[in-house]
């Protein structure tokens, strides 16, 4: 399996960033340094470790599925998020989450199907491992989270990309891709659809709830021919980093979701990325397999981190921190977008983000952005690193990867660096045009 695994682009991008002093990286998914909760973490840990009764379980092994208190707090938090999001829906759309057609509350997330993991990435890995065999097909968004592509490659899976629209997957294109797979007799190999449904990394797109309903239905319709369930792996890592607009209910709010939706999220990005705790809510049939694999990987996520996060949630510190973080990223998103309007040609197009850490930009058709393109090299020469868009497209022989897109993150860079970075990109771009 190691042989299948090539160096992921994230490694290359990180090395490039480290090896060029003075380089401004708008490529990393790192979070904002000044807002990292040093004081809150210090106080929470001090409290946790000052009494043997709370210190000992935090410093001891725990259970493979995760700390029971953190699982309960996570389930409660998710339930509250869902209830609030469903409440914000227009009545006409709210009926989507009721089997009978009348507005309803989503089902309570069940802590007994919650698995705590070492970052949400480990959950994604465990799901791929539990569910897929080499040669299986996963449906992905175009563009998608490039680390997922590493997981996919590690397991020898194939991808089919589905085009994105400003409110999530293109339904006609998803129908077309499924139809092509049906005609090619490949539906039995389709195991899941992977979607980053909130403020997507890298596009910033949030999937509208009515689209989620239609997507789940399209997949359901294929199951008879597939001969097995087709799961939705909903990665909600950026859901809590929303800074404008209403929250959308997750796939979990749809009827029948408990058997088809794997919902994963994380505490790392909303609290501190150095405290790696993610989680997944899985259909019962997959849950046991994922827990067993987790048992073989590491028999449980570090208790110190889990107990720390449970304290942060229970004390309200997590929520307080999150509120500040949202304001901070709202401001940084505005600064990045403002700099783009000021320094980059009008021919660039993008969608202002409502959350998350990313802006995805499309350049005029002929301007290439890839690792070997003149623009990428010129940007590096000017001291700016972006994510070449093509790295975020899965290998899929059925379509070409767009070569004129790029990803920018306002997560880690300072405000002056956001402005200066975009100024450099503008210089690099204009330099090309005048050559």
Of 50, 102, 183, 434, the one binding a copy of itself by CB under 8 A: 50
191 binds a copy of itself (CB under 8 A): no
List binders of a copy of itself among 236-275 (CB under 8 A). 272-275
Compute the distance between CA of residue 352 and CA of residue 336 in angstroms, rounded to an integer: 10
Only one residue has tokens 């990987």, namely 297
Single out the segment in contact with a copy of itself by CB under 8 A; choices: 130-138, 209-217, 373-381, 385-393: 130-138
Shortest separation between residue 11's beta carbon and a copy of itself, angstroms: 6
428 binds a copy of itself (CB under 8 A): no
322 binds a copy of itself (CB under 8 A): no
List binders of a copy of itself among 64-123 (CB under 8 A). 64, 118-119, 121-122
Query: Any idea what DSSP says for residue 112?
Result: G
Shortest separation between residue 223's beta carbon and a copy of itself, angstroms: 19
284 binds a copy of itself (CB under 8 A): no
Shortest separation between residue 150's beta carbon and a copy of itself, angstroms: 5
Shortest separation between residue 101's beta carbon and a copy of itself, angstroms: 36
The helix or strand, by DSSP H or E, that contains position 407, with its residue range, turns out to be strand 405-409
Of 23, 131, 330, 337, the one binding a copy of itself by CB under 8 A: 131
CB 166 within 8 A of CB 209: no
3-state secondary structure of 134: coil
Compute the distance between CA of residue 273 and CA of residue 411 in angstroms, rounded to an integer: 12
192 binds a copy of itself (CB under 8 A): no
29 binds a copy of itself (CB under 8 A): yes
Burial 351-371 (b: 16+ CB within 10 A, else e): eebbbbbbbbbbbeeebbbbe
204 binds a copy of itself (CB under 8 A): no
12 binds a copy of itself (CB under 8 A): no
Compute the distance between CA of residue 157 and CA of residue 135 in angstroms, rounded to an integer: 5
Tokens of 423: 């100024």
CB 227 within 8 A of CB 238: no
CB 265 within 8 A of CB 307: no
How far from chain centre, in Å, is Cα 329?
16
297 binds a copy of itself (CB under 8 A): yes
List binders of a copy of itself among 150-169 (CB under 8 A). 150-151, 153-154
Query: Any idea what DSSP says for residue 251?
Result: G
62 binds a copy of itself (CB under 8 A): yes
Of 61, 184, 324, 352, the one binding a copy of itself by CB under 8 A: 61
367 binds a copy of itself (CB under 8 A): no
Only one residue has tokens 């700390």, namely 67
Of 111, 290, 339, 425, the one binding a copy of itself by CB under 8 A: 290
352 binds a copy of itself (CB under 8 A): no
Work out the burial of residue 202: count CB atoms within 10 Å of its CB; fewer than 13 is exposed, 13-18 middle, 19 or more buried: buried
Single out the segment in contact with a copy of itself by CB under 8 A; choices: 124-132, 159-167, 259-267, 347-355: 124-132
């Amino acid at each position: 399996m190691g042989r299948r695994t090539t160096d992921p682009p994230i490694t290359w991008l990180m090395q490039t960033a480290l090896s060029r002093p003075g380089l401004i990286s708008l490529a990393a998914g790192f979070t904002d340094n000044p807002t990292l909760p040093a004081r809150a973490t210090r106080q929470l840990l001090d409290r946790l470790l000052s009494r043997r009764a709370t210190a000992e379980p935090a410093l001891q092994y725990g259970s493979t599925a995760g700390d029971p208190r953190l699982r309960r707090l996570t389930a409660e938090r998710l339930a509250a998020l869902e209830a609030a999001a469903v409440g914000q829906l227009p009545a006409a759309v709210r009926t989507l989450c009721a089997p009978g057609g009348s507005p309803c509350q989503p089902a309570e997330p069940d802590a007994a199907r919650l698995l705590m993991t070492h970052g949400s990435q480990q959950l994604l890995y465990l799901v791929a491992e539990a569910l897929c065999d080499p040669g299986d097909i996963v449906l992905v968004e175009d563009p998608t989270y490039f680390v997922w592509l590493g997981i996919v490659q590690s397991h020898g899976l194939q991808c089919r990309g589905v085009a994105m629209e400003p409110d999530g997957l293109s339904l006609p294109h998803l129908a077309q891709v499924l139809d092509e797979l049906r005609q090619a007799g490949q539906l039995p190999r389709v195991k899941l659809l992977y979607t980053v449904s909130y403020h997507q990394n890298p596009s910033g797109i949030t999937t509208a709830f009515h689209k989620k309903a239609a997507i789940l239905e399209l997949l359901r319709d294929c199951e008879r021919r597939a001969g097995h369930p087709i799961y939705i792996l909903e990665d909600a890592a950026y859901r809590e980093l929303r800074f404008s607009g209403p929250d959308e209910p997750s796939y979990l709010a749809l009827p029948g979701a408990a058997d088809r939706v794997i919902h994963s999220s994380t505490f790392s990005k909303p609290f501190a990325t150095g405290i790696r705790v993610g989680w997944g809510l899985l259909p019962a049939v997959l849950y046991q397999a994922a827990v067993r694999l987790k048992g073989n990987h590491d028999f449980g996520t570090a208790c110190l981190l889990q107990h720390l996060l449970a304290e942060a949630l229970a004390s309200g510190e997590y929520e307080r921190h999150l509120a500040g973080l949202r304001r901070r990223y709202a401001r940084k998103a505005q600064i990045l977008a403002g700099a783009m309007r000021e320094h980059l040609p009008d021919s660039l197009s993008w969608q202002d983000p409502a959350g998350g850490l990313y802006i995805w930009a499309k350049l005029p058709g002929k301007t290439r952005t890839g690792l070997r393109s003149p623009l990428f090299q010129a940007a590096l020469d000017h001291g700016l690193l972006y994510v070449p868009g093509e790295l975020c497209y899965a290998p899929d022989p059925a379509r070409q990867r767009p070569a004129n897109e790029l990803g920018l993150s306002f997560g880690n860079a300072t405000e002056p660096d956001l402005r200066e970075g975009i100024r450099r990109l503008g210089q690099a771009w204009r330099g090309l045009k005048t050559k």
